[in-house]
Amino acid sequence: MQFKRMNSCSSALLPVAAFLWITIVNAAEPASTNAGAALRVYEINRKVSDFPTNENLSTPEAAYAAWNRAWAVEGRAASRRLSAKRIWDAIRPAAVKPPPAKRVEELLHSEILEVHVHAEREAAVIARIPHPSESLIDLRRFEREGERWLNVEQSIWYDIASARARVSAIYARGDAERKLSARPAIANPEEHLRPFVSFLRREATDPQPFLLKALAAHRVVILGEVHHRPRYWEFNSALVRSPEFARSVGVIYLELPNNDQPLMDRFLSANRYDPEPVVETLRDMFEWGWPDQPMLDFCKAVWKVNQALPKEQRLRIVLVDMARPWKQIQEKADWREYEVDRDELMARNIASDLREHEADRRHALFIVGYGHAMVNLALANGQPVKSAGWFLCEKLGETNVFSVFPHSPVSADLGGVTSGRIALGLFETVFAALTNRPMAFPLDHGPFGEQVFDPSLDKRTTDSFRSGYHAYLYLGRLEDEVFSPPIPGFYTDAYAKEVDRRNRLMFGKGVVDAYALGALSGENLAREVARSWGQPRRKWTAEKLGPLHAWKLGGDWEQKSTEAKRKDWSGEAKAIRQAAERLFDAIRQANYENPGHWGSFPAPDVSYRVQSGVDAWVEWICRRFRTNPIVHVEIGEVVRFPDGWPSVSYALTLKDGAKLEGILPFHWYPRIEQWCGVKGLDWHLRKDLL
């Protein structure tokens, strides 16, 4: 059973376990089951054990029953056979091993309640899992391949309304993505760019005076962010240091746990600078804490500004996010007490604080992940995105709230998935035309605000930027950014024990085993964190984000670019051969003892696409070539493969004289603008090499 984490903040990168702090989804917004003519919903109300025992995949409900029956007998070994091919790479091959008797009982006696079928190509089955202590709702999604319905995803919920809301959101996202992919090509790119460039030359201003003006005019300014960006926290610090800031602003709201407010109050009231209370607050963020040095520097900037202000005019920092009192969480079940609708909670805390301090007529700055900052955005099914910004508009009135979007990639919650550039690179093309200088500009008029809001993979919509935000903040190229450097000394030996306790509590596994740390110590945790914190953002490179010019080709630019390369690659034979040479060189020079993440193997700047089982491919190479390395490589001429793509023959000589020979096809991948080898080196799948 896979537990899904939902309702989280936007974009943070720690070791994976650091974010999975909610194990079962709770309290989602109920949604109508009638999302349009493409959706049909019907009741089942039958247990898995009531279905025939044959493996029938002809309907979603039969496929659900078949999945549960197969798992009751085979365990994980059944997963790949009953799942859509597109997710096979994420499924490890497994031997037949039936689950425990209690789990078998749950699988066979789960009651299928209803089925939601969308456009006859995807479906969701909602079932009730028999559980002695609580009501659990199983939501399993299927996709149609031919005449068979195959598994793609599972999530667990506490109530059926929340599961239905999730289904509605998923289908709305799919509808929005199809509309985004239908964006037309631009016949005259120069003409298309002209109003965007003219607008920025006329309207864009230096970001600091723009924000100061907004703060002077609105009760609450929401400064959306992608977490852990030094450039943006440095801007925030400079904003606070401006003499105008404290004249307009009396309070800063932060997306930090509200149970640590006494620590923040102690920090701000101290006569000498002592960062420890803020560090303690940051240690309460998730299982691994949040060792963000630029965020600490921002708090220091507020403290220093206060030293020059009369006490009655000093800035307050108020923590408005959900409580994370780790000392009180001794069992995993204890966490449920603190699971809340974070958006509603943050808005409620802000509105309450403003009422309590209404004598201070100065305004407020709210710094929060941009997914919480939307004010009037709706999903493709018309359901409003009830973010903290939306709730604040409800509580304070729309004219009293001003929301700012920070330039970012197109990405999923927590930044785990990055999928290209906003508006297919159009915005960044315009920014480049103005030398990529920092700027802020309004969205309530002009061509930027009219564009479809596409940065969030989690909240897919066909609404405009204007619906979500009032202004746009751009501080420089994404490719130049780094992840926040960690706070020195953040991970002590004592805190390492607490991190290990939290991980054992939430995930059943300590950090030493999960991350092969060798020993539990603050030094080892700091070393693990330093692999990403303080480093260039590996998913924000030009190769990962894609070209700036994709907007010229339209929403299906990748398909168009790929097909054009497949039809006419003859002039790039030299580049294809060089790609083959780089790939084999990278394999020969790879670190077989410590290969690292499979996504960066054999080298971060070299790509190869495995048919299936990429982790097994990496393991095969490291095991075989560690003791029997490649000593010679022969690459043939670039020739046409039967499917029309180019290919090269290869012959590898190993240390013991053995030969590895085959054909390596190449495909063009437009997002990274590279020729990549595909399938031809899948030695781990060849029976003669096992």
85 token code pair: 């091919």
Q: Which two tokens stand for residue 373?
A: 């900052």
**CA torsion sign, 256 to 257 to 258 to 260?**
negative
Residue 24 has pLDDT above 90, yes or no: no
Categorize the per-residue pLDDT at 33 as very low, low, confident or very high, splitting at 50, 70 and 90. Answer: very low
Rounded CA separation 111/453 (Å)? 39
Query: According to the model, what pLDDT value does residue 541 have?
Result: 86
Q: Burial-class residue 591 by CB neighbours within 10 Å (0-12, 13-18, 19+).
A: exposed
pLDDT at 605 (0 to 100): 81
Of 3.40.50.11550, 3.30.1330.10, 3.40.190.10, 3.60.10.10, the CATH number of 199-448+463-477 is 3.40.50.11550
As a whole number of angstroms, the distance between CA 26 and CA 7 comes to: 9
The pLDDT tens digits of the residues spanning 253-288 come to 999 999 999 999 999 999 999 999 999 999 999 999
Give the model confidence (pLDDT) of 646-672 as tens digits.
999 999 999 999 999 999 999 998 888
Check residue 35 and give its pLDDT. Answer: 41
The predicted pLDDT at position 671 comes to: 81
**C-alpha to C-alpha distance for 90 and 67, rounded to whole angstroms:** 17
pLDDT at residue 37 is higher than 60 = no
Angle at 62 between CA 57 and CA 66, to 5 degrees: 75
**pLDDT tens-digit readout, 104-139:** 999 999 999 999 999 899 999 999 999 876 779 999
Residues in a beta bridge with 122? 118, 143
Query: What confidence tens digit (pLDDT) does each residue in 202-228 have?
Result: 999 999 999 999 999 999 999 999 999
**Does the structure show a pLDDT above 60 at 36?**
no
User: Are 16-181 and 561-689 equal in CATH topology?
Assistant: yes
pLDDT of res. 416: 55
d(CA 598, CA 537): 17
How does the average pLDDT of the chain come out, rounded? 90
Is the pTM of the predicted complex or chain greater than 0.85? no
Find out whether 57 and 84 touch, Cβ atoms under 8 Å: no
For residue 165, what pLDDT is reported?
A: 86
Q: How is the chain split into domains, by residue range?
A: 16-181, 199-448+463-477, 493-529, 561-689
Kindly tell me the burial class for residue 253, based on how many C-beta atoms sit within 10 Å of its own C-beta (0-12, 13-18, 19 or more).
Answer: buried
Mean pLDDT along residues 618-646: 95
| CATH value of 16-181 in 3.40.50, 3.10.450, 3.40.630, 1.20.140 | 3.10.450
pLDDT of 20 higher than 60: no
pLDDT digits (tens, 9 = 90+) for 337-353: 888 899 999 999 999 99
Please give the class, per CATH, of domain 561-689.
alpha beta
Residue 490 has pLDDT above 80, yes or no: yes
Identity at 413, one-letter amino acid code: D
- pLDDT tens-digit profile of 391-450? 999 999 999 999 999 999 998 875 556 778 999 999 999 999 999 999 999 999 999 999
- Omega of the bond leading into 602 within 30 degrees of 0 (cis): yes
Chain segment 51-108, per-residue pLDDT in tens: 999 999 999 999 999 999 999 999 999 999 999 998 987 888 889 999 999 999 999 9
Q: Quick one: pLDDT at residue 31?
A: 35
Is the pLDDT at 2 greater than 70? The verdict is no
Name the residue with higher pLDDT: 441 or 173: 441
